[in-house]
């Protein structure tokens, strides 16, 4: 890749939740961790890194697709090198949400705190490469923002705190307003190419089927409805920010429909199991419930499964989704 070319991407910086957390939660006091087997069993060296999957997560696959590097490391990794920082890191934290309460409930890094860590990292980048080069990196890098599913699944539907005061319409307003503030702050720090992931069909992940899907473990329609409502609002927020900041490329990335299509037609994409995760019984295990103790029940061939645990897709499913996303949206950033 020629560094001077207009399509070159010098770095990728990532914000959000467990879909793009490569291990930041390993280094904070929270129960939401996965730095133990069988997580990471298909990652390089078969080591659990704190990624909430069996292998690469979307931030890694997107960095590969944009020609940046093979993996996007966690900013809080004590072994992080200056070169890692200059080519981009992830500040994401599993169980995070746009709603500040979501991160508080799980004791994880909020969107505001992730932004503060990014500002801290900019000081280090400037010290290494100077003001001018830092400005250049900022204007050409891709910024990934992926959050919102934990607001819906964990905070709204699993705790009483917000439902007392908000119906789903006003709660998705709270989420989209928070997303808007975050994106404006990110722009304010210098980000110009920003990919904002939609919420997924969260009602179709195995844990939500188990909790809310009845005897047949159907998708939970209230959760999916909330995700669609939020996506509609997020999309319009991004539309208005694109007008407000004409020198930016802020792109709404629909992952709801591609993932739903995968879940509804698994065999079309080479998968066999769409309603259970590979880990343990696949119905409810996630994070600290998905451990070596569940090994006897854990699937042998995770390439046949869309979900690795009851909440997070497998690397194989992520590869299908990220390929679709890159095909559809990559040119929007240049």
Q: What is the mean pLDDT of each run of 10 residues along the chain (334 residues)?
A: 63 98 97 92 93 97 97 98 97 98 97 98 97 96 98 94 96 98 98 98 93 90 97 98 98 98 97 92 63 76 95 97 97 95
Catalytic pick among 212, 302, 309, 310: 309
**Is residue 302 reached through a cis peptide bond, with omega within 30 degrees of 0 on the bond before it?**
no
Amino acid 330: pLDDT: 96
List Cβ neighbours of 48 (8 Å cut-off, separation of 6 or more): 34, 35, 36, 37, 38, 39, 40, 41
The answer to whether 103 and 93 are in contact (CB under 8 A) is: yes
Amino acid 17: pLDDT: 98
pTM for this predicted structure: 0.96
Given the DSSP bridges, would you call strands 305-307 and 12-16 parallel, antiparallel or unpaired? Answer: unpaired
Strand ranges inside 65-203, DSSP E: 142-146, 193-197
Amino acid 4: pLDDT: 45
* CA 188 to chain centroid: 22
Confirm whether 312 is a catalytic residue. yes
Amino acid 281: pLDDT: 67
Confirm whether 103 is a catalytic residue. no
Confirm whether 107 is a catalytic residue. no
Q: Name the token pair of 49.
A: 């890194």
Rounded distance, CA 291 to CA 123, Å?
38
Catalytic pick among 17, 18, 149, 220: 18
The answer to whether 52 and 17 are in contact (CB under 8 A) is: no
Catalytic pick among 84, 180, 302, 312: 312
């Amino acid at each position: 890749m020629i560094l001077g070319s207009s399509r070159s991407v010098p770095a990728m910086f990532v914000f959000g939740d467990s879909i793009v957390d490569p291990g930041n939660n390993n280094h904070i006091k929270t129960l939401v961790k996965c730095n133990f087997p069988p997580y990471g069993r298909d990652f390089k060296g078969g080591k659990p890194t704190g990624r909430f999957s069996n292998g690469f997560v979307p931030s890694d696959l997107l960095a590969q697709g944009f020609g940046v590097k093979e993996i996007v490391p966690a900013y809080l990794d004590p072994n992080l090198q200056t070169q890692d920082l200059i080519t981009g890191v992830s500040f994401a934290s599993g169980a995070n949400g746009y709603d500040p309460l979501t991160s508080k409930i799980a004791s994880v890094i909020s969107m505001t705190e992730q932004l503060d860590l990014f500002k801290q990292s900019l000081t280090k980048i400037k010290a290494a490469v100077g003001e001018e080069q830092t400005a250049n990196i900022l204007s050409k890098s891709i910024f990934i923002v992926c959050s919102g599913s934990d607001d819906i699944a964990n905070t709204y539907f699993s705790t009483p705190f917000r439902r007392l005061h908000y119906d789903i319409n006003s709660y998705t307003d709270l989420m989209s307003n928070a997303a808007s503030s975050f994106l404006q702050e990110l722009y304010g720090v210098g980000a110009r190419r920003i990919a904002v992931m939609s919420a997924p069909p969260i009602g179709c992940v195995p844990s939500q089927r188990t909790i809310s899907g009845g005897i047949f473990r159907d998708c939970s329609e209230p959760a999916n409805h909330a995700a669609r409502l939020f996506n509609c609002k997020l999309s319009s927020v991004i539309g208005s920010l694109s007008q407000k900041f004409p020198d930016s490329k802020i792109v709404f990335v629909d992952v709801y429909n591609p993932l739903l299509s995968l879940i509804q037609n698994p065999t079309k994409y080479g998968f066999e199991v769409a309603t259970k995760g590979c880990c343990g019984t696949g119905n409810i295990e996630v994070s600290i419930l998905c451990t070596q103790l569940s090994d006897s029940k854990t699937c042998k061939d995770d390439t046949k499964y869309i979900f690795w645990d009851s909440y997070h897709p497998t690397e194989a499913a992520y590869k299908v989704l990220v390929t679709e996303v890159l095909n559809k949206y990559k040119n929007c950033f240049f």
